Structure 1
Amino acid sequence: MISNSSEPSMQRTEQIKNVFRGMILLGKGRAEGINLFINSSESLLNALAPWIAFSFVTNILIPLSSYNVQTSKTLLLNLGFFLVNLCDVIVSIVIVQWYANFWQKGNVWKRAGTAMLWCSWLPIIDFLFFVMLATILFLSSLKILTAFMLIIAISCIVYTIWLMWFSIMHGLQIRKKQSVLVVLSIISTKVVMNLLFIMLNYNVMIQYLNMFKQTGMIMH
Protein backbone atom coordinates (compact mmCIF):
# COMPACT_ATOMS: atom_id res chain seq x y z
CA MET A 1 0.00 0.00 0.00
CA ILE A 2 2.79 2.41 0.93
CA SER A 3 4.82 1.74 -2.17
CA ASN A 4 1.78 2.05 -4.43
CA SER A 5 0.66 5.35 -2.89
CA SER A 6 4.16 6.81 -3.19
CA GLU A 7 4.50 5.98 -6.88
CA PRO A 8 2.56 9.03 -8.19
CA SER A 9 4.59 11.43 -6.05
CA MET A 10 7.84 9.79 -7.14
CA GLN A 11 6.80 10.05 -10.77
CA ARG A 12 5.87 13.70 -10.24
CA THR A 13 9.26 14.40 -8.66
CA GLU A 14 11.03 12.70 -11.54
CA GLN A 15 9.03 14.73 -14.07
CA ILE A 16 10.02 17.97 -12.32
CA LYS A 17 13.67 16.92 -12.35
CA ASN A 18 13.41 16.12 -16.05
CA VAL A 19 11.93 19.56 -16.75
CA PHE A 20 14.87 21.27 -15.05
CA ARG A 21 17.36 18.99 -16.80
CA GLY A 22 15.69 19.68 -20.13
CA MET A 23 15.77 23.43 -19.52
CA ILE A 24 19.47 23.38 -18.66
CA LEU A 25 20.39 21.19 -21.64
CA LEU A 26 18.41 23.25 -24.15
CA GLY A 27 19.72 26.44 -22.56
CA LYS A 28 23.25 25.18 -23.23
CA GLY A 29 22.39 24.35 -26.85
CA ARG A 30 22.11 20.59 -26.41
CA ALA A 31 19.24 19.20 -28.48
CA GLU A 32 18.80 16.02 -26.41
CA GLY A 33 17.19 18.14 -23.71
CA ILE A 34 13.94 18.17 -25.72
CA ASN A 35 13.46 14.45 -25.00
CA LEU A 36 13.07 15.19 -21.27
CA PHE A 37 9.80 17.04 -21.85
CA ILE A 38 6.58 15.03 -22.01
CA ASN A 39 4.40 15.37 -25.09
CA SER A 40 1.00 15.70 -23.38
CA SER A 41 -1.76 18.20 -22.68
CA GLU A 42 -1.11 17.93 -18.94
CA SER A 43 2.54 18.85 -19.36
CA LEU A 44 1.62 21.80 -21.54
CA LEU A 45 -0.88 23.07 -18.96
CA ASN A 46 1.71 22.61 -16.21
CA ALA A 47 4.13 24.76 -18.19
CA LEU A 48 1.44 27.37 -18.84
CA ALA A 49 0.27 27.67 -15.21
CA PRO A 50 3.37 29.47 -13.82
CA TRP A 51 3.13 32.10 -16.55
CA ILE A 52 -0.52 32.77 -15.71
CA ALA A 53 0.33 33.05 -12.01
CA PHE A 54 3.34 35.30 -12.72
CA SER A 55 1.27 37.61 -14.90
CA PHE A 56 -1.51 37.77 -12.30
CA VAL A 57 0.90 38.65 -9.50
CA THR A 58 2.86 41.28 -11.44
CA ASN A 59 -0.12 42.92 -13.13
CA ILE A 60 -2.90 42.56 -10.55
CA LEU A 61 -1.73 41.76 -7.02
CA ILE A 62 1.39 43.94 -6.82
CA PRO A 63 -0.23 47.06 -8.34
CA LEU A 64 -3.27 46.68 -6.10
CA SER A 65 -1.10 46.46 -2.99
CA SER A 66 1.21 49.31 -4.06
CA TYR A 67 -1.14 52.13 -5.02
CA ASN A 68 -2.61 54.46 -2.42
CA VAL A 69 -5.19 55.70 -4.88
CA GLN A 70 -7.13 53.51 -7.26
CA THR A 71 -9.62 54.50 -9.93
CA SER A 72 -11.80 52.38 -12.13
CA LYS A 73 -9.61 53.27 -15.12
CA THR A 74 -6.36 52.17 -13.48
CA LEU A 75 -7.97 48.96 -12.27
CA LEU A 76 -9.16 48.21 -15.79
CA LEU A 77 -5.71 49.05 -17.15
CA ASN A 78 -4.11 46.59 -14.73
CA LEU A 79 -6.60 43.98 -15.89
CA GLY A 80 -5.72 44.88 -19.47
CA PHE A 81 -2.01 44.35 -18.79
CA PHE A 82 -2.81 40.95 -17.35
CA LEU A 83 -4.95 39.91 -20.30
CA VAL A 84 -2.39 41.12 -22.85
CA ASN A 85 0.40 39.20 -21.13
CA LEU A 86 -1.84 36.17 -20.96
CA CYS A 87 -2.60 36.48 -24.67
CA ASP A 88 1.13 36.81 -25.40
CA VAL A 89 1.73 33.41 -23.86
CA ILE A 90 -1.31 31.70 -25.35
CA VAL A 91 -0.75 33.07 -28.85
CA SER A 92 2.74 31.56 -28.83
CA ILE A 93 1.24 28.13 -28.22
CA VAL A 94 -1.43 28.65 -30.87
CA ILE A 95 1.14 29.66 -33.49
CA VAL A 96 3.35 26.66 -32.66
CA GLN A 97 0.35 24.34 -33.01
CA TRP A 98 -0.72 25.92 -36.28
CA TYR A 99 2.70 25.51 -37.89
CA ALA A 100 3.01 21.99 -36.49
CA ASN A 101 -0.25 20.98 -38.15
CA PHE A 102 0.74 22.78 -41.36
CA TRP A 103 4.00 20.80 -41.57
CA GLN A 104 2.41 17.52 -40.45
CA LYS A 105 4.13 17.67 -37.06
CA GLY A 106 0.93 17.69 -35.03
CA ASN A 107 2.01 14.68 -32.99
CA VAL A 108 4.87 16.57 -31.27
CA TRP A 109 3.64 20.16 -30.93
CA LYS A 110 2.71 19.81 -27.25
CA ARG A 111 6.27 18.84 -26.38
CA ALA A 112 7.59 21.80 -28.37
CA GLY A 113 5.17 24.18 -26.65
CA THR A 114 6.02 22.78 -23.22
CA ALA A 115 9.76 23.14 -23.82
CA MET A 116 9.34 26.67 -25.17
CA LEU A 117 7.33 27.81 -22.14
CA TRP A 118 9.67 26.31 -19.56
CA CYS A 119 12.82 27.50 -21.31
CA SER A 120 11.46 31.05 -21.45
CA TRP A 121 12.20 31.30 -17.73
CA LEU A 122 15.95 30.90 -18.26
CA PRO A 123 16.59 34.39 -19.71
CA ILE A 124 14.56 35.95 -16.88
CA ILE A 125 16.60 34.09 -14.25
CA ASP A 126 19.84 35.05 -16.01
CA PHE A 127 18.72 38.68 -16.23
CA LEU A 128 17.93 38.89 -12.51
CA PHE A 129 21.21 37.22 -11.57
CA PHE A 130 23.38 39.49 -13.70
CA VAL A 131 21.45 42.60 -12.63
CA MET A 132 22.13 41.78 -8.97
CA LEU A 133 25.77 41.05 -9.79
CA ALA A 134 26.16 44.31 -11.72
CA THR A 135 24.51 46.28 -8.91
CA ILE A 136 26.97 44.85 -6.39
CA LEU A 137 30.02 45.41 -8.57
CA PHE A 138 29.25 48.83 -10.09
CA LEU A 139 27.00 50.51 -7.55
CA SER A 140 29.52 53.30 -7.05
CA SER A 141 29.56 54.20 -10.77
CA LEU A 142 26.15 54.99 -12.24
CA LYS A 143 27.41 55.30 -15.83
CA ILE A 144 29.12 51.91 -15.79
CA LEU A 145 26.10 50.34 -14.08
CA THR A 146 23.73 51.80 -16.70
CA ALA A 147 25.93 50.59 -19.56
CA PHE A 148 26.21 47.14 -18.03
CA MET A 149 22.43 46.97 -17.51
CA LEU A 150 21.91 47.81 -21.19
CA ILE A 151 24.32 45.07 -22.24
CA ILE A 152 22.54 42.58 -19.96
CA ALA A 153 19.12 43.53 -21.34
CA ILE A 154 20.20 43.21 -24.98
CA SER A 155 21.98 39.91 -24.30
CA CYS A 156 18.91 38.45 -22.58
CA ILE A 157 16.63 39.52 -25.44
CA VAL A 158 18.95 37.86 -27.96
CA TYR A 159 19.19 34.76 -25.77
CA THR A 160 15.39 34.62 -25.43
CA ILE A 161 14.92 34.69 -29.20
CA TRP A 162 17.65 32.10 -29.79
CA LEU A 163 16.29 29.77 -27.11
CA MET A 164 12.78 30.02 -28.54
CA TRP A 165 14.15 29.21 -31.99
CA PHE A 166 16.23 26.30 -30.69
CA SER A 167 13.47 24.70 -28.61
CA ILE A 168 10.90 25.03 -31.40
CA MET A 169 13.28 23.62 -34.03
CA HIS A 170 14.05 20.49 -32.03
CA GLY A 171 10.60 20.24 -30.48
CA LEU A 172 8.83 20.20 -33.84
CA GLN A 173 11.74 18.44 -35.58
CA ILE A 174 11.86 21.04 -38.35
CA ARG A 175 14.59 22.84 -40.29
CA LYS A 176 16.35 26.01 -39.11
CA LYS A 177 14.57 28.27 -41.58
CA GLN A 178 11.19 26.86 -40.61
CA SER A 179 11.91 27.55 -36.95
CA VAL A 180 12.94 31.11 -37.84
CA LEU A 181 9.55 31.56 -39.52
CA VAL A 182 7.72 30.34 -36.41
CA VAL A 183 9.71 32.67 -34.13
CA LEU A 184 9.17 35.67 -36.42
CA SER A 185 5.44 34.93 -36.48
CA ILE A 186 5.31 34.80 -32.68
CA ILE A 187 7.31 38.00 -32.20
CA SER A 188 5.43 39.99 -34.85
CA THR A 189 2.05 38.89 -33.47
CA LYS A 190 3.06 39.91 -29.95
CA VAL A 191 4.35 43.28 -31.14
CA VAL A 192 1.12 44.03 -33.00
CA MET A 193 -1.02 43.00 -30.02
CA ASN A 194 0.95 45.15 -27.58
CA LEU A 195 1.02 48.15 -29.91
CA LEU A 196 -2.74 47.96 -30.36
CA PHE A 197 -3.19 47.80 -26.61
CA ILE A 198 -0.97 50.86 -26.10
CA MET A 199 -2.74 52.81 -28.83
CA LEU A 200 -6.19 52.01 -27.45
CA ASN A 201 -5.19 52.90 -23.88
CA TYR A 202 -2.66 55.67 -24.47
CA ASN A 203 -4.52 58.39 -22.56
CA VAL A 204 -5.21 56.12 -19.60
CA MET A 205 -1.56 55.06 -19.49
CA ILE A 206 -0.48 58.73 -19.37
CA GLN A 207 -2.81 59.23 -16.41
CA TYR A 208 -1.35 56.07 -14.92
CA LEU A 209 2.19 57.51 -15.09
CA ASN A 210 1.05 60.84 -13.69
CA MET A 211 -0.49 59.01 -10.74
CA PHE A 212 2.87 57.36 -10.10
CA LYS A 213 4.59 60.75 -10.09
CA GLN A 214 2.05 62.27 -7.74
CA THR A 215 2.40 59.40 -5.26
CA GLY A 216 6.18 59.61 -5.43
CA MET A 217 6.64 56.18 -7.04
CA ILE A 218 8.68 57.67 -9.88
CA MET A 219 11.63 59.76 -8.83
CA HIS A 220 12.49 62.88 -10.80
Structure 2
Amino acid sequence: MTQGRGAPPRPMPGSAGGIFRGMMLLGRGRRDGMSCFGTTPDAVLAALAPRVALWLVGGVLTLAQAPTMLSAAKIVFSLCLVLTPVVLTHQLARLWGREALWPRYMAAALWCDWLVLFVMLAAVGVIAGLMPAGVSMMHSALLLNGVIFAYNLWLTWFVARVGLALGAWRALLVVLAIAAAIMALSGISSVLPPHYAPWQDFLALPSAHGGR
Protein backbone atom coordinates (compact mmCIF):
# COMPACT_ATOMS: atom_id res chain seq x y z
CA MET A 1 0.00 0.00 0.00
CA THR A 2 1.41 3.37 -0.97
CA GLN A 3 1.15 6.50 1.09
CA GLY A 4 -1.26 9.19 -0.02
CA ARG A 5 0.13 12.22 -1.76
CA GLY A 6 -0.73 14.46 1.17
CA ALA A 7 0.87 12.21 3.79
CA PRO A 8 4.39 13.21 4.84
CA PRO A 9 7.01 10.48 4.33
CA ARG A 10 7.97 8.54 7.41
CA PRO A 11 11.51 9.15 8.64
CA MET A 12 14.06 6.45 7.96
CA PRO A 13 14.75 3.96 10.77
CA GLY A 14 17.74 5.12 12.78
CA SER A 15 17.52 8.72 11.59
CA ALA A 16 16.99 11.54 14.08
CA GLY A 17 13.35 11.81 13.07
CA GLY A 18 12.89 8.06 13.22
CA ILE A 19 14.44 7.85 16.67
CA PHE A 20 12.23 10.62 18.01
CA ARG A 21 9.13 9.04 16.50
CA GLY A 22 10.06 5.66 17.94
CA MET A 23 10.58 7.14 21.39
CA MET A 24 7.18 8.81 21.33
CA LEU A 25 5.44 5.64 20.16
CA LEU A 26 7.13 3.26 22.59
CA GLY A 27 6.69 5.75 25.41
CA ARG A 28 2.93 5.53 24.84
CA GLY A 29 2.89 1.75 24.65
CA ARG A 30 2.88 1.48 20.85
CA ARG A 31 4.75 -1.58 19.58
CA ASP A 32 5.28 -0.16 16.10
CA GLY A 33 7.75 2.32 17.56
CA MET A 34 10.40 -0.40 17.60
CA SER A 35 10.65 -0.36 13.80
CA CYS A 36 11.88 3.25 13.94
CA PHE A 37 15.29 2.27 15.32
CA GLY A 38 18.34 0.94 13.54
CA THR A 39 19.28 -2.72 13.59
CA THR A 40 23.08 -2.52 13.49
CA PRO A 41 25.80 -2.26 16.15
CA ASP A 42 26.36 1.31 14.94
CA ALA A 43 22.82 2.13 16.08
CA VAL A 44 23.72 0.94 19.57
CA LEU A 45 26.91 3.00 19.59
CA ALA A 46 25.01 6.08 18.41
CA ALA A 47 22.50 5.64 21.23
CA LEU A 48 25.28 5.08 23.75
CA ALA A 49 27.34 8.09 22.66
CA PRO A 50 25.33 10.81 24.48
CA ARG A 51 25.51 8.88 27.74
CA VAL A 52 29.26 8.36 27.45
CA ALA A 53 29.71 12.04 26.60
CA LEU A 54 27.74 13.07 29.68
CA TRP A 55 29.75 10.62 31.76
CA LEU A 56 33.02 12.13 30.53
CA VAL A 57 31.89 15.70 31.20
CA GLY A 58 30.51 14.77 34.60
CA GLY A 59 33.69 12.90 35.48
CA VAL A 60 35.91 15.84 34.59
CA LEU A 61 33.74 18.25 36.58
CA THR A 62 33.63 15.90 39.57
CA LEU A 63 37.41 15.51 39.67
CA ALA A 64 37.92 19.23 39.16
CA GLN A 65 35.67 20.00 42.12
CA ALA A 66 37.00 17.28 44.44
CA PRO A 67 40.03 15.28 43.22
CA THR A 68 39.66 12.45 45.75
CA MET A 69 39.35 8.68 45.72
CA LEU A 70 35.67 9.06 46.56
CA SER A 71 35.16 11.13 43.42
CA ALA A 72 36.97 8.49 41.38
CA ALA A 73 34.68 5.82 42.86
CA LYS A 74 31.63 7.87 41.86
CA ILE A 75 32.91 8.15 38.30
CA VAL A 76 33.59 4.42 38.02
CA PHE A 77 30.18 3.58 39.46
CA SER A 78 28.41 5.94 37.06
CA LEU A 79 30.16 4.22 34.14
CA CYS A 80 28.94 0.88 35.49
CA LEU A 81 25.39 2.26 35.51
CA VAL A 82 25.76 3.10 31.82
CA LEU A 83 27.29 -0.20 30.73
CA THR A 84 25.60 -2.77 32.98
CA PRO A 85 22.26 -2.89 31.10
CA VAL A 86 24.11 -3.13 27.79
CA VAL A 87 26.27 -6.08 28.83
CA LEU A 88 23.60 -7.88 30.85
CA THR A 89 20.83 -7.70 28.25
CA HIS A 90 23.22 -8.88 25.54
CA GLN A 91 24.00 -11.98 27.59
CA LEU A 92 20.30 -12.64 28.19
CA ALA A 93 19.56 -12.17 24.49
CA ARG A 94 22.21 -14.76 23.63
CA LEU A 95 20.85 -17.14 26.25
CA TRP A 96 17.32 -16.90 24.85
CA GLY A 97 18.28 -16.99 21.18
CA ARG A 98 17.40 -13.32 20.61
CA GLU A 99 20.87 -12.05 19.74
CA ALA A 100 19.80 -10.92 16.27
CA LEU A 101 17.11 -8.71 17.83
CA TRP A 102 19.40 -7.22 20.45
CA PRO A 103 20.94 -4.26 18.52
CA ARG A 104 17.55 -2.74 17.71
CA TYR A 105 16.27 -3.44 21.21
CA MET A 106 19.33 -1.90 22.86
CA ALA A 107 19.23 1.19 20.66
CA ALA A 108 15.55 1.67 21.50
CA ALA A 109 16.13 1.08 25.22
CA LEU A 110 18.97 3.59 25.41
CA TRP A 111 17.08 6.30 23.56
CA CYS A 112 13.83 5.68 25.44
CA ASP A 113 15.58 6.16 28.76
CA TRP A 114 15.61 9.88 27.96
CA LEU A 115 11.81 9.84 28.08
CA VAL A 116 12.03 9.53 31.86
CA LEU A 117 13.34 13.11 31.98
CA PHE A 118 10.31 14.37 30.07
CA VAL A 119 7.99 12.39 32.31
CA MET A 120 9.70 13.88 35.35
CA LEU A 121 9.16 17.42 34.07
CA ALA A 122 5.53 16.68 33.25
CA ALA A 123 4.97 15.03 36.63
CA VAL A 124 6.43 18.03 38.44
CA GLY A 125 3.94 20.32 36.71
CA VAL A 126 0.97 18.03 37.35
CA ILE A 127 1.81 17.38 40.99
CA ALA A 128 2.48 21.06 41.65
CA GLY A 129 -0.93 21.93 40.21
CA LEU A 130 -2.94 19.18 41.89
CA MET A 131 -1.37 18.80 45.33
CA PRO A 132 -3.08 20.73 48.15
CA ALA A 133 -1.20 23.72 49.50
CA GLY A 134 -0.64 22.11 52.89
CA VAL A 135 1.17 19.04 51.59
CA SER A 136 4.84 18.95 52.60
CA MET A 137 7.70 18.94 50.14
CA MET A 138 8.70 15.47 51.34
CA HIS A 139 5.34 13.98 50.42
CA SER A 140 5.42 15.71 47.05
CA ALA A 141 8.94 14.41 46.39
CA LEU A 142 7.93 10.87 47.36
CA LEU A 143 4.95 11.00 45.02
CA LEU A 144 7.09 12.39 42.21
CA ASN A 145 9.75 9.73 42.67
CA GLY A 146 7.07 7.05 42.77
CA VAL A 147 5.58 8.17 39.47
CA ILE A 148 8.98 8.34 37.76
CA PHE A 149 10.09 4.99 39.19
CA ALA A 150 6.88 3.24 38.12
CA TYR A 151 7.05 4.65 34.59
CA ASN A 152 10.71 3.74 34.28
CA LEU A 153 10.02 0.14 35.32
CA TRP A 154 7.10 -0.16 32.92
CA LEU A 155 9.05 1.35 30.02
CA THR A 156 12.03 -0.95 30.62
CA TRP A 157 9.69 -3.95 30.71
CA PHE A 158 7.72 -2.91 27.63
CA VAL A 159 10.76 -2.14 25.46
CA ALA A 160 12.36 -5.46 26.45
CA ARG A 161 9.19 -7.38 25.67
CA VAL A 162 8.72 -5.77 22.26
CA GLY A 163 12.36 -5.43 21.25
CA LEU A 164 13.43 -8.96 22.17
CA ALA A 165 10.07 -10.60 21.36
CA LEU A 166 9.71 -11.91 24.90
CA GLY A 167 6.78 -13.02 26.96
CA ALA A 168 5.64 -10.93 29.89
CA TRP A 169 7.54 -12.97 32.48
CA ARG A 170 10.84 -13.02 30.62
CA ALA A 171 10.59 -9.27 30.08
CA LEU A 172 10.02 -8.92 33.82
CA LEU A 173 13.12 -11.03 34.39
CA VAL A 174 15.12 -8.53 32.31
CA VAL A 175 13.94 -5.70 34.57
CA LEU A 176 14.72 -7.66 37.73
CA ALA A 177 18.14 -8.73 36.45
CA ILE A 178 19.14 -5.15 35.68
CA ALA A 179 17.89 -3.95 39.07
CA ALA A 180 19.68 -6.79 40.88
CA ALA A 181 22.94 -6.09 39.06
CA ILE A 182 22.83 -2.41 39.95
CA MET A 183 22.03 -3.21 43.58
CA ALA A 184 24.93 -5.66 43.67
CA LEU A 185 27.29 -3.05 42.26
CA SER A 186 26.03 -0.57 44.84
CA GLY A 187 26.74 -3.05 47.62
CA ILE A 188 30.24 -3.77 46.34
CA SER A 189 30.95 -0.05 46.03
CA SER A 190 29.90 0.58 49.63
CA VAL A 191 32.00 -2.28 51.00
CA LEU A 192 35.25 -1.65 49.13
CA PRO A 193 37.40 1.43 49.82
CA PRO A 194 36.69 4.32 49.62
CA HIS A 195 33.25 3.00 50.64
CA TYR A 196 31.08 5.02 48.27
CA ALA A 197 27.38 4.40 49.00
CA PRO A 198 25.45 5.39 45.84
CA TRP A 199 22.06 5.36 47.56
CA GLN A 200 23.18 8.30 49.71
CA ASP A 201 23.42 10.42 46.58
CA PHE A 202 20.13 9.08 45.22
CA LEU A 203 18.29 9.81 48.46
CA ALA A 204 20.31 12.93 49.32
CA LEU A 205 21.32 11.45 52.67
CA PRO A 206 24.18 12.95 54.68
CA SER A 207 27.40 11.12 53.95
CA ALA A 208 29.87 9.82 56.48
CA HIS A 209 32.67 11.09 54.24
CA GLY A 210 31.79 14.63 55.16
CA GLY A 211 34.63 16.89 54.22
CA ARG A 212 36.68 14.45 52.18
TM-score by length of 1: 0.76
- Counterpart-to-counterpart distance in 1, 2:95 and 2:13: 35
Shift of 1:94: 1.3
Query: Which aligned pairs between 1:1-220 and structure 2 lie closer than 5 A?
Result: 15-61=15-61, 63-64=62-63, 67=65, 70=66, 72=67, 74=68, 76-131=69-124, 143-201=135-193, 206=207, 208=209, 210-211=210-211
Residues 151 and 105 (structure 1), Cα distance of their counterparts in 2 relative to 1, 3 Å cut: same
- Counterpart-to-counterpart distance in 1, 2:148 and 2:51: 18
Paired residue type of 1:41: P
TM-score by length of 2: 0.78
Moved more, 184-193 or 76-85: 76-85
* Contact 1:131–1:149, Cα closer than 8 Å, also in 2: no
Say which SS state the counterpart of residue 211 (structure 1) adopts: coil
Shift of 1:43: 0.8
CA RMSD of aligned residues (A): 2.8
Say which SS state the counterpart of residue 97 (structure 2) adopts: coil
- Counterpart-to-counterpart distance in 1, 2:40 and 2:75: 26
Shift of 1:203: 5.4
Shift of 1:30: 0.7
The count of residues paired between Structure 1 and Structure 2 equals 193
Shift of 1:155: 1.1
Say which SS state the counterpart of residue 39 (structure 1) adopts: coil
Q: Report the identity percentage.
A: 28
Residues 174 and 14 (structure 1), Cα distance of their counterparts in 2 relative to 1, 3 Å cut: closer
Paired residue type of 1:107: A
Shift of 1:89: 2.0
Superposed CA deviations along residues 60-108 of structure 1, whole A, max 9, x for unmatched, are 41x356x4xx4x5x2x322221221211221211111111111111111
- Counterpart-to-counterpart distance in 2, 1:135 and 1:102: 45
Residues 112 and 59 (structure 1), Cα distance of their counterparts in 2 relative to 1, 3 Å cut: same
* Contact 1:134–1:149, Cα closer than 8 Å, also in 2: no
* Contact 1:23–1:33, Cα closer than 8 Å, also in 2: yes
* Contact 2:160–2:171, Cα closer than 8 Å, also in 1: yes
Shift of 1:133: 6.2
Say which SS state the counterpart of residue 107 (structure 1) adopts: helix
User: Any unmatched runs of 5+ in structure 1?
Assistant: 1-10, 213-220
Say which SS state the counterpart of residue 108 (structure 1) adopts: helix
Residues 125 and 78 (structure 1), Cα distance of their counterparts in 2 relative to 1, 3 Å cut: farther
Paired residue type of 1:15: S
* Contact 1:29–1:166, Cα closer than 8 Å, also in 2: yes
